[in-house]
Structures are given as C-alpha cells and as structure tokens.
Amino acid sequence: MGLPSLRAAAGALRRACGPWTPRVGRRLLGLPPMAGKAEAPAPPAPRQERDGKAGSGWHGGGRVWEDAEQPAKKLKSSGEDGEQPRKLPKRKIVLLMAYSGKGYHGMQRNVGSSQFKTIEDDLVSALVRSGCIPENHGEDMRKMSFQRCARTDKGVSAAGQVVSLKVWLIDDILEKINSHLPSHIRILGLKRVTGGFNSKNRCDARTYVYMLPTFAFAHKDRDAQDETYRLSADTLRQVNRLLACYKGTHNFHNFTSQKGPREPSAQRYVLDMFCEEPFERDGMEFAVIKVKGQSFMTHQIRKMVGLVVAIVKGYAPEDVLERSWGEAKVDVPKAPGLGLVLERVHFETYNRRFGGDGLHEPLDWAREEAEAAAFKEQHIYPTIIGTERQERSMAQWLSTLPTHDFSATAHAAARPGAKVPSPQEGSEEDGVSD
C-alpha cells in the first residue's frame, strides 16, 4: 500500500474513531490494555452535522470535533407568569359571597384605579395571597374567566352574590381565602361547575331586598315623620298594591340613566315585588321590600322604591306609575342605596340541565342559608340601622321629595303594536346592578 493510501486510511480512522490516542490504537490492534492502568471507557464518537452550523469546534489546523452541549430546557418558575412549580388542578368553580357594602364603591373592580375601593379589590387580593390564583390573574381578571352575577352599586350589600372563576383547588380553600378577607366580606360556599359556566349569563333571576324605616311611608300631611310612626295595615296594603303594579314586562327607561324609551334593553321583566310585615329594631320600625326580576339596570330598584314612597306619602299621584313606562321623561326619585341588599341569585335552567347529571351539584345553596342569614344579622342589618340612626340618610332623602316635579304628562304614548320583548330579550346588555 502506498503512502497516499495509508494517509487516506488514517484519515478515515480519525473521522470514525475521533482523536488518536495510544488507548485507541491498542484497541484497534486487538491488544490488551497497558498493565498498571485502569482503562476508562472511550468517549463516544461525536455526531457530525452536515450543515456545519454553530456548535462544532475547530482546534488549530486539524479538524477535531467537539460535542456542543445543548442547553437544558428552561422550566417555568413560580415567578414567571405567576405559575406555581407544583401542578395543581385548575377548575371552574363558583363562590357564594356575602358582604356589607358600606365604604365600598360597588362590587366591580376598576383595574388601575386605587381611588375607589371595591369589593372585588379585597376578593382578588385574598385569592392571590391564599395561593388560589397567580398574581398576574389578579391584574387581568380575564385570565381566570372571572364573572359576577350582579354588579352591585356603591354602598349596596349582598347575602347571596355568586362569582364564577378558575382557581387552583388547594387544600382548605375556603378557610384560606377567608383568612385574608375582612370580617364584613365572607365566602360562604364553593361548588364545581361546567367548564363554560358564566355566572352572569347563566343566572335566570336575581332577588333583592330593600330595608327601610317605615316612617318613609308616613303621609306628609297626616302622620308623624319620625321614629314614633308605625305602619298601619291599610298603608301596608296600599304599598303592596302599588308594588304589584311593577310585575310583568315594562319599559323602565325612566328608572335608570342614559337609556332611551325606544331602546329594547329598557324593557325589563319583574317576577314579583312586595313588602313584608314591619318589625322593630332598637326602638325603630323597619320593613323589607322584596323584588325578584330577571335583571335590573343601574339604580332601577332604588327608583322603583322611591316612586312608590313618593306616592304613598302624597307627593305624587298614582297615575305617575303608568306614565313612567311611557316615552315621556318622568322625574323619578332615587331612594338611598344604604338599604339595598342582593339576597339571592337563581339558576333554575342550569340546575335542570346539570344539577342531576351526577357530576355537578345544583346551585341552590340550601346548606349555606343559615350562615347567610347569620351574616345579615351580624354585619348587614346592624350597618343599615346604625348608619340610618347616625347619618339619617332616609330622613334627608325624604326632605328632597317636594323638589321633584311629578306633574309632567307623557308627550307620546308607547307606539301601538310595538313588540314587547320576551323576558329573555335585552336582559343582560349592560350587566346587572341595583
């Protein structure tokens, strides 16, 4: 074999076996290892990349391949995207909430604004601190598919608010969330729901109560206008007769703001409205008005109560109710927000479809009713009574009723033959408030 052939063979050996060492030579010749030295296993032959991209090494003038180490795949830590290093199931749930709304600017969070504190500000903070959600989900609530049943207004309380969201199902989840909440905000219950559940869209109806001192119904010319007044049976019957007029579908454009008389979403469906028997608390008589409807616009319930109070006290004629549902603008007074409480939200349609499928519980909260009632007695009713005594919000509002003009007549009746939407139409266009 000539010299060129030997050199070609040697090059082929180098390419096949890697750098030449005595240990490699003895192995190729079939000789035993050198005495007195433990032979380490030969390094594996490196892979050759045809395209010669970065990752190969060149030493001097000879081509010596170096295996380039591939960087290990980076794993997400707890600081990235708020993800936890452990894997916990993230599930769609609903939380039953109760809260006293005094001192809060409503339920809905205003992200980026710290000027007005809301119930959801405290709730989201507790969810993050308890480890139920990543921190970035608190900054962008859409990431946890958050939705509330009702967007309660400033000062409005709740004993049965329901929110839906996705969380990590940590151990003792309710106890941990409540440990980071003030005593006037409580999570009363938790239930698993379907993955696409939305508490606002799945809600069939809402029930509110409005608690007020009965002297609000004292006639301006005949009765005492203070705490000594007691509601008579005849006046209670008059109140309930007027409240019953609200039942059914009506055009409530005069009971909210920025809503035209011909907008379909101004049509709202009220299932029931009545006043319960009065009761005494701390020497003052109170009554509770209950109203159940498919949905309510901002200030709608407070204006419904305010107009009936104005009629019973003798400031407004009874026919103002009919006129308020026409196209003309009617001056409807708005009762204070202090006494308004979201009592319950209803999911009849969801319960019929999923409540008995063996996988999901019906959303009826029967087991939590006692705790909700106790919360009202401990945090909501005392706040309403105490604030009324100290700030006299109802008495001050009643003093403004003479300034309202209830004599305006309708400029145009509702269009003959106009389509009245079914209870399902236009019910959730702007969210739900009081």
How far is it, in rounded angstroms, from Cα 358 to Cα 251? 41
Place of tokens 């060149």: 58
pLDDT at residue 434, rounded to an integer? 55
pLDDT in tens, 181-201: 999 999 999 999 998 999 999
Q: CATH number of the domain at 328, please.
A: 3.30.70.660
Degrees, nearest 5: CA angle 334-258-421: 95
Claim to verify: residue 395 and residue 253 sit in the same structural domain: yes
Among the ranges given (174-178, 241-245, 304-308, 418-422), the one the predictor scored with the smallest mean pLDDT = 418-422
Most confident of the ranges 85-99, 127-141, 181-195: 181-195
Claim to verify: residue 258 and residue 188 sit in the same structural domain: no
Which of 166, 186, 201 is a domain's end point?
201
Domain count, the chain: 2
Give domain status of residue 263, yes or no. yes
Instruction: Please name the residues in contact with 331: beta carbons below 8 A apart, sequence gap of 6 or more.
Output: 404, 405, 406, 408
Give domain status of residue 85, yes or no. no
DSSP class of 119: H
Q: What is the pTM of this model?
A: 0.74
Give domain status of residue 106, yes or no. yes
How far is it, in rounded angstroms, from Cα 307 to Cα 328? 16
Decide: 160 and 345 in contact? Cβ < 8 Å: yes
Give domain status of residue 28, yes or no. no
- Residues 250-274 have a mean pLDDT of 95
Which of 156, 186, 201 is a domain's end point?
201
Claim to verify: residue 328 and residue 189 sit in the same structural domain: no
Give domain status of residue 72, yes or no. no
Claim to verify: residue 150 and residue 220 sit in the same structural domain: no
Claim to verify: residue 383 and residue 247 sit in the same structural domain: yes
Q: What is the mean pLDDT of the chain?
A: 82
Q: How far is CA 208 from the centre of its chain?
A: 18
How far is it, in rounded angstroms, from Cα 276 to Cα 209? 10
Claim to verify: residue 243 and residue 392 sit in the same structural domain: yes
Give domain status of residue 159, yes or no. yes
How far is it, in rounded angstroms, from Cα 163 to Cα 148? 4
Does 62 have pLDDT greater than 50?
no
Claim to verify: residue 216 and residue 341 sit in the same structural domain: yes
Q: Residue 258: which pLDDT band, with cuts at 50, 70 and 90?
A: confident
Give domain status of residue 16, yes or no. no
pLDDT at residue 264, rounded to an integer? 94
How far is it, in rounded angstroms, from Cα 68 to Cα 423? 69
Does 171 have pLDDT greater than 50?
yes
List active site positions: 153
DSSP class of 379: I
pLDDT in tens, 351-401: 999 988 888 889 999 999 999 999 999 999 999 999 999 999 999 999 999
Among the ranges given (61-65, 91-95, 310-314, 397-401), the one the predictor scored with the smallest mean pLDDT = 61-65
Q: CATH number of the domain at 129, please.
A: 3.30.70.580
Per the structure, the complete domain to which residue 315 belongs is given by 205-346+367-402
Claim to verify: residue 386 and residue 259 sit in the same structural domain: yes
How far is it, in rounded angstroms, from Cα 182 to Cα 180? 7
Structure tokens at 66: 């170096």
Which of 180, 201, 222 is a domain's end point?
201
Claim to verify: residue 104 and residue 214 sit in the same structural domain: no
Claim to verify: residue 211 and residue 311 sit in the same structural domain: yes
The phi, psi pair for 309, rounded to 5°, reads -60, -45
Give domain status of residue 268, yes or no. yes
Structure tokens at 305: 């109560």
Cβ burial 403-425 (10 Å sphere, 16+ → b, else e) = ebebeeebeeeeeeeeeeeebee
Does 204 have pLDDT greater than 60?
yes
How far is it, in rounded angstroms, from Cα 378 to Cα 167? 29
Q: Residue 116: which pLDDT band, with cuts at 50, 70 and 90?
A: confident
99 is in an annotated binding site: no
Does 66 have pLDDT greater than 60?
no
pLDDT at residue 422, rounded to an integer? 37
pLDDT in tens, 332-356: 999 999 999 999 999 999 999 998 8
pLDDT at residue 356, rounded to an integer? 85
Claim to verify: residue 100 and residue 247 sit in the same structural domain: no
Q: How many helices (H) and strands (E) does the chain have?
A: 12, 10
- Helices 22-29 & 3-17 angle (0-180, nearest 10): 110
Does 309 have pLDDT greater than 50?
yes
Claim to verify: residue 246 and residue 379 sit in the same structural domain: yes
